[in-house]
Each structure stands twice: as C-alpha cells, then as structure tokens.
Structure 1
Amino acid sequence: MDVIIRPVTVSDSESLTTIYNYYIKETTSSFESESITVDMMKERIEEITKSYPYFVAETSEKEIIGYCHAKPFGKTIGYQYSVEVTVYLKPNAKQQGVGTRLYEALERQLKSQGIKTMIASVTAENKESVLFHQKKGYEQAAYLKNIGFKFDRWLDVIWLQKIFS
C-alpha cells in the first residue's frame, strides 16, 4: 500500500474523528462510550501537538487510513520522560505495515525529544494489538483486572512498555 506518514494538521480532524468513532462504537479499544465531534478531535489535536508528536497515514489518494500520537503518561514532573502511545487504523488498513510505519515515525520523534519510556494501554481481549506491540519490542509491565467497563462487562487492561536505551 502506497502510504505517506506525515504530521497531523487540524484539517485532518474529520477523518480522524470517523476512525476513532468506529473504535468507540464497535470495540473495547477505547473506553469512551459516546462518539466524539470533529470539534472535540480538533481540541485534542491542538492540545497534544503543543508538546508531543502526532502522525497520520495518508494514501496517494489523500485518504487518511490511520493515526498515532503520544501524550503524557502522568501529570507530575517525575513522569516527564514517559508517554502513553496510541495508534488507530481503519479496519481495512490493518496488517499492511501502516501501524508499524506510524510507530516508527512516532518513536523517532519521541527519542529526539528525550523520551525514555513508552506505555501502550491495551484491552487484554485485543490480542491483535497486544501482539503488534510485542512485535515492536514492548513488554508486558502490568495486567490490570476488571479495570474498565464497557458494553455491560468488565475488561482487563495490559500495560505494555518499551524503554529506549
């Protein structure tokens, strides 16, 4: 698949909202329960990009098929070198190397910013994402039982961690 990875712009908000709302409505990948608006996505992009990288994957036809970003892992100064990372792809863009390319761009930028630790918070039942992160060098750091609740059931979450040397 011919894809370019580039920094996000606010004009990408509508495409990103569509991708993310699929995961809100159809999966346990996000613990949000209500769809977000384009304006909400714009606000999130503006807030995150003040300090952290945010990338999109765009086809040669200018279709955005995925995105990833980092955000603070904790709110206090002691966590300044740690981030939580997130990646979302259109379902038909999975298993084609798009997530890998997004994460490669994200990791390059995070390393240049002095980040030492990345954490991915993944629903335990999302085996595809757990395996993806493990293939990228993430190791399980924590297994949190019954920490989330969605679709009328309790969910476990795995924290996967990658430490830059």
Structure 2
Amino acid sequence: MTDFTVRNACRADAAAIARIYAHHVRNGTASFDTAPRSTAQTEEKIADILGKQWPFLVAERGGAILGYAYATSFRDRPAYGFTCENSIYVDADHVGQGVGAALLRALMTHATECGFRQMIAVIGGGEPASMALHSKMGFTISGRMRCVGRKFGRWLDTVYMQAELGEGDRSAPEQEPA
C-alpha cells in the first residue's frame, strides 16, 4: 500500500516537475538533455500533452510532487498512431519507494484508455534502475543503439523496451490512422 496518490497533472505542478527533471538532467543519463526545462517550458509541455488528451500524471503526498510520468506519440507519422513513448522521473529523495512503479502502472492504464496498443520506453544511458522498473512492469528489450549520446564525458547507449497495451496486435483497431 502506498502513502501517496497518483493523479492527473495540472499547470500548477510545473515548478515541481521542472525541479525533478532538472535534477535528472544535471545528475543522470536517463535524459539526453543537457539543460533543464524552465517552469514555463514545463507548463507548455503539460498543456500540450493534456491538450491531446494523453496522460500526464503525478504522484503526490501531502501536496508535494514525488514524481511524474507522461505518454506521447512515439513518432509523428500516422502509422505510429497506436504506439506511445513513456517518460517517468521520480524525485531523488523518493527513488525506491514504489513511486515509479505506481506511476508506470497508472500510465499504462491511461495510455490503453487513449487507444495506444504499444508503449515504448527509450532509456537513455541504459539506466539499470529504469530497465529494472520497466522489466518489472512487463516490458522487454526490443533494441539497443550503441554510443548514440554523449554526456558527462562518456558515450551512452539508448535501450528500447516495449510493452503491449490492451489488445496489442491481437485485434485491429476500429479505424486506421489518417
């Protein structure tokens, strides 16, 4: 049982989300960004994702944001319309407390409700904790791109992991993408 809730993000969460992301940009390789987003840029990202009716979630305890997750289209070409990419970041003080698992579980449910059939995790640096979380949630490795990023003076791989959502490829969607 968790002592936090997972809910839809709102623009008021932008400062906390930007702070969490900034920590990961400055200290980790999960993101290949080298400069954090501003609060204003984060507000725009939240509005854009929610405006498309895709999930953007936060984990919250007592008004404090512990982590966040969102799903976006994997690629912008129509044939990818049923495939999404996830992003999950947990506040450094709350890693290992089930926040990431709760966010990913809820994100997968919401993405399925949006009509996505596949979810892709693009794991920068092949981060072991992220790979373990995704494996725990049923993702399997679907590819690795060697040395495609450079950060902190080292070459970094990107690992692709994939999970089927809902019916996956067992049935055809009602409508093909336009």
Range of TM-score over shorter length? over 0.9
Q: Which amino acid aligns with 1:53?
A: P
Q: CA deviation at 1:44?
A: 0.9
- Aligned counterpart for 1:53 among listed residues 55, 58, 61: 55
Q: Hey, what does 1:146 align to over in structure 2?
A: 147
- Uncovered stretches (5+) of structure 2, i.e. residues with no partner: 168-178
Deviating beyond 2 angstroms after TM superposition, the runs of 4 or more aligned structure 1 residues are none
Q: CA deviation at 1:152?
A: 2.1
Q: Hey, what does 1:43 align to over in structure 2?
A: 44
- Aligned mates of 2:152, 2:125 — CA distance in 1: 15
Please give the secondary structure, in 2, of the residue aligned with 1:49.
helix
Q: Is the 8 A contact 1:120 1:160 kept in 2?
A: yes
Q: Which amino acid aligns with 2:103?
A: L
Q: CA deviation at 1:134?
A: 0.5
Q: CA deviation at 1:148?
A: 1.0
Q: Is the 8 A contact 2:29 2:125 kept in 1?
A: no
Q: Which amino acid aligns with 1:135?
A: K
- Aligned mates of 2:103, 2:36 — CA distance in 1: 24
- Uncovered stretches (5+) of structure 1, i.e. residues with no partner: none
CA deviation map 1:72-103 (0-9, x unaligned): 10111100000000110011211111111111
Q: Hey, what does 2:66 align to over in structure 1?
A: 65
- Aligned mates of 2:150, 2:73 — CA distance in 1: 23
Q: CA deviation at 1:131?
A: 0.8
Q: Hey, what does 1:98 align to over in structure 2?
A: 99
Of stretches 133-142 and 115-124 in structure 1, the one that deviates more from structure 2 is: 115-124
- Aligned mates of 1:12, 1:6 — CA distance in 2: 11
Q: Hey, what does 2:5 align to over in structure 1?
A: 4
- Aligned mates of 2:133, 2:102 — CA distance in 1: 12
Q: Is the 8 A contact 1:138 1:162 kept in 2?
A: yes
Q: CA deviation at 1:40?
A: 0.7
- Aligned mates of 1:141, 1:121 — CA distance in 2: 10
Q: How many residues align?
A: 164
Compute the RMSD of aligned alpha carbons. Answer: 1.1
CA deviation map 1:82-127 (0-9, x unaligned): 0000110011211111111111211111111211000001134411
Q: Taking structure 2 as the reference length, what is the TM-score of the superposition?
A: 0.89
Q: Taking structure 1 as the reference length, what is the TM-score of the superposition?
A: 0.95
